[in-house]
C-alpha cells in the first residue's frame, strides 16, 4: 500500500503540478471509507474476519492492476485515477475494521498490548521500505511501482487466507443494521477515555498533516528528486518503527494518558519546525520525530480500543476508530492541499502544527478520563 501511495502522490503531482489535485488523492479515498466503514465494522462482527481481509486485499490488488493500465497507457486525464482511488478506499473500508479486530482472535488478552507493539513494528518496517522502494522504482516509471503493489496485495491476500483462525464472532445484539451500528458508536461515546483518544488523534493529525504536502517540499523547497522524496516519505515510518521497537521492549507503564498528550504535543512542535525548515536533514529529522511521537499515541489508542471492548463489538468499535483515523489521514490530505492553495505550503504546515498544540490543551481539559489513564495492562472490557 505504501509503494502505491507514494507512486500515486508523485504521479498526480507530475500530471497536474497542482497542490489541490494532490489533496484530492486523500479525499477520493476518504469518501467511500466514510460511507462504508461503519457498515464494514458490523460485517466484521458477523462474518469471518480472515475471509473479509483476504477479499479486501484482493480488491486492492485489482486497483493496482487498474493503475498499471492507466500508467502504461499514458492516460493524462486524472478522472480515471481518482475513480480507482474511490474503489481502493471502499476496499480499505472493509479491511480496516476486520484487521483491527482480527488480532485479538489469534493472541491472548495478556499478550495483546505487546502484540500490538510487535504488529506496529512489522507494519512500520513495511511503511519504511514502501516509500523508499516506491521512490526508487518511480525512476523507472509509475507503472513499475504499481506492478510491485499488485504483487504485494495478491501475496497478502493469500497469506491472510492461509492463517488458521477461522473464528466467526458472536453478535450478542439483534435488531437492524442501524441499531447494531449505533450500539458500537454509543459504546465509544460512553467510554470517555476511548472517545477522547480517538478524537484527539483525529484533530491533531487532521491539522498537522504535513506529510500530504511532501511532494512540494521535496521538489520546490528542499530541491530533492524522486529518491529524496521517497526518503522523506519514509521519515515518519522510521521514527514510528524505532518507537514501536522501544515500546515492545519497554511498555509505557504508568501514566499512559499523560504520555499520550505529551507525544501529541511533540508531534505538533515537530510539524512546525518541519514547515519552517529549508534543510533536507533537519526536515528528515523532524519527520522521524513526529513519526516516533505519533507511534506512542497510536499504541495508547489501539490498546484502549482492543482492551476495553468486548470481542463481539470489536469490529464495530474498530470501525469507529478507523473512521476517525481515515478522517485524520485522508481528509487531512485534502485539508492540507486546500490550505496550501489558499495560504501557501509553508504557512499551511506551520498553522496546522500550532493548531495541534491547541488541540492538546483543549482535550486535556475536556477529557480528564483519558488524562487519568494509568497502566494499559489494567484496562478491562465493560
Cβ-based neighbour number of residue 158 at 10 Å: 12
User: In angstroms, what CA-CA distances link 117 with 88, 102, 239, 250, 296?
Assistant: 27, 15, 14, 10, 10
Q: Beta strands of the chain (E only): which ranges?
A: none
Q: What angle do CA 37, 99, 315 make, to 5 degrees?
A: 55
d(C-alpha 39, C-alpha 272), whole Å: 37
pLDDT at 116: 73
pLDDT at 168: 54
- Using 50 as the pLDDT threshold, list the residues of the chain that sit under it: none
DSSP per-residue letters across 62-119: HHHHHHHHHHHTT---SHHHHHHHHHHHHHHHHHHHHHHHHHHHHS-GGGHHHHHHHH
Nearest residue to 209 (alpha-carbon basis) of 374, 7, 25, 61: 25
Are the C-beta atoms of 27 and 212 separated by less than 8 Å?
Answer: no
Three cell numbers, residue 112: 495483546
User: In angstroms, what CA-CA distances link 46 with 26, 90, 97, 236, 358?
Assistant: 29, 19, 12, 35, 40
pTM for the whole structure: 0.74
Cβ-based neighbour number of residue 281 at 10 Å: 9
2-163+176-378 adopts what CATH topology? Growth Hormone; Chain: A; (1.20.1250)
Q: Rounded to a whole number, what is the distance in angstroms from the first to the last CA of the chain?
A: 35
Tell me, rounded to whole angstroms, the distance of Cα 50 from its chain centroid. 20
pLDDT at 223: 86
Three cell numbers, residue 170: 458472536
Three cell numbers, residue 259: 504520555
The pair phi, psi for residue 351, each rounded to 5°, is -65, -40
Are the C-beta atoms of 188 and 194 separated by less than 8 Å?
Answer: yes
d(C-alpha 292, C-alpha 247), whole Å: 11
DSSP per-residue letters across 110-147: GGHHHHHHHHHHHHHHHHHHHHHHHHHHGGG-HHHHHH
Are the C-beta atoms of 365 and 373 separated by less than 8 Å?
Answer: no
- Tell me the domain boundaries of the chain: 2-163+176-378
Distant-in-sequence, close-in-space partners of 260: CB < 8 Å, separation ≥ 6: 197, 200, 296, 297, 300, 301, 370, 373
Amino acid at each position: 500500500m505504501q509503494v502505491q501511495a507514494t507512486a500515486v502522490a508523485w504521479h498526480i503531482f507530475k500530471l497536474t503540478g497542482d497542490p489541490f489535485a494532490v489533496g484530492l488523492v486523500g479525499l477520493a479515498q476518504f469518501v467511500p471509507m466514510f460511507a462504508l466503514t461503519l457498515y464494514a465494522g458490523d460485517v466484521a462482527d458477523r462474518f469471518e474476519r480472515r475471509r473479509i481481509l483476504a477479499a479486501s486485499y484482493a480488491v486492492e490488488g485489482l486497483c493496482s492492476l487498474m493503475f498499471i493500465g492507466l500508467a502504461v497507457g499514458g492516460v493524462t486525464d486524472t478522472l480515471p485515477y481518482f475513480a480507482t482511488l474511490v474503489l481502493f478506499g471502499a476496499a480499505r473500508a472493509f479491511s480496516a475494521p476486520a484487521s483491527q479486530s482480527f488480532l485479538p482472535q489469534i493472541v491472548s488478552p495478556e499478550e495483546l498490548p505487546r502484540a500490538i507493539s510487535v504488529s506496529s513494528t512489522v507494519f512500520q518496517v513495511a511503511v519504511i521500505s514502501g516509500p523508499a522502494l516506491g521512490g526508487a522504482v518511480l525512476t523507472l516509471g509509475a507503472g513499475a511501482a504499481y506492478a510491485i503493489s499488485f504483487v504485494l496485495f495478491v501475496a497478502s491476500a493469500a497469506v491472510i487466507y492461509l492463517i488458521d483462525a477461522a473464528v466467526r464472532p458472536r453478535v450478542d445484539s439483534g435488531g437492524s443494521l442501524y441499531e447494531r451500528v449505533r450500539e458500537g458508536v454509543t459504546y465509544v461515546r460512553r467510554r470517555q477515555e476511548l472517545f477522547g483518544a480517538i478524537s484527539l488523534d483525529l484533530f491533531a493529525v487532521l491539522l498537522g498533516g504535513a506529510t500530504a504536502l511532501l511532494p512540494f517540499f521535496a521538489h520546490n523547497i528542499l530541491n530533492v528528486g524522486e529518491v529524496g522524496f521517497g526518503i522523506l516519505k519514509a521519515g515518519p515510518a522510521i521514527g514510528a518503527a524505532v518507537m514501536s521497537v522501544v515500546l515492545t521492549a519497554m511498555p509505557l507503564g504508568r501514566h499512559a494518558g499523560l504520555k499520550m498528550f505529551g507525544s501529541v504535543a511533540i508531534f505538533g512542535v515537530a510539524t512546525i519546525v518541519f514547515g519552517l525548515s529549508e534543510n533536507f536533514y533537519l526536515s528528515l529529522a523532524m519527520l522521524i520525530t513526529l513519526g516516533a511521537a505519533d507511534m506512542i499515541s497510536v499504541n495508547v489508542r489501539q490498546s484502549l480500543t482492543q482492551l476495553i471492548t468486548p470481542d463481539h463489538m470489536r469490529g464495530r468499535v474498530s470501525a469507529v476508530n478507523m473512521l476517525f483515523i481515515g478522517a485524520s489521514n485522508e481528509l487531512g490530505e485534502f485539508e492540507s492541499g486546500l490550505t496550501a492553495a489558499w495560504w501557501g505550503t509553508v504557512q499551511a504546515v506551520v498553522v496546522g502544527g500550532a493548531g495541534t498544540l491547541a488541540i492538546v490543551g483543549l482535550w486535556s481539559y475536556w477529557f480528564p478520563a483519558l488524562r487519568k489513564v494509568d497502566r494499559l495492562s489494567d484496562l478491562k472490557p465493560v
